Amino acid sequence: MIKILEQYLEQIKIWGLSRRDVRISFTGGEPFVRKDFFDLLQRCYENQDITRYGILTNGILLTQGIIDRLKALKISYVQVSLEGTKKINDYIRGKGTFKKIIRAIRLLKEGGIPTMISMTVSKINIQEVPAIINLSNDLKVNFLSIRQLVPLGRGKEIKKSVLTPEEVRKLFLYV
């Protein structure tokens, strides 16, 4: 993966994009399971061509030690997936995940790291949107991203949960 990052950074120079709002987002699966993940982040931190770099995570593996390392590397943001209140989130993401995610969000905020909650809305959790908006405000996250489930990748497995066009319209009118 470091080789791919190096090739990408070289391409930025070839394209003449150096220091022009070059952003990198690390996603997964779960980025924190990679043994070389902090090596990748270190390369981003050291590279003057990258203006922002962030992480999309489920938040479950975040600890105070990891938060401290992210802060030292001046991570631009961490986006944490949260699909609803405790009952619904744990149904979608697994038992006990809600508590771990909330703990991670609090650690990120206490660490001064810009934090985003990302909610993927489906028929299963559409009724949770107001509660997640309120929770986001209570947790003082920097951003809340609400998007609809797309039937690709893992989303194919739950195609029947995809919102209808009318449900999407109502959701966006509400938000």
Closest CA to 52 of 20, 23, 18: 23
* Cβ-proximal residues to 11 (8 Å cutoff; 6+ apart), any chain: none
pLDDT tens digits for 40-84? 999 999 988 888 999 999 999 999 999 999 999 999 999 999 999
SS (HEC) of 128-166:
HHHHHHHHHHHHCCCEEEEEECCCCHHHHHHHHHCCCHH
Q: Which domains does the chain have, with CATH numbers?
A: 1-53 (no CATH), 58-175 (3.20.20.70)
Q: Quick one: pLDDT at residue 51? A: 85
**pLDDT at position 122 over 80:** yes
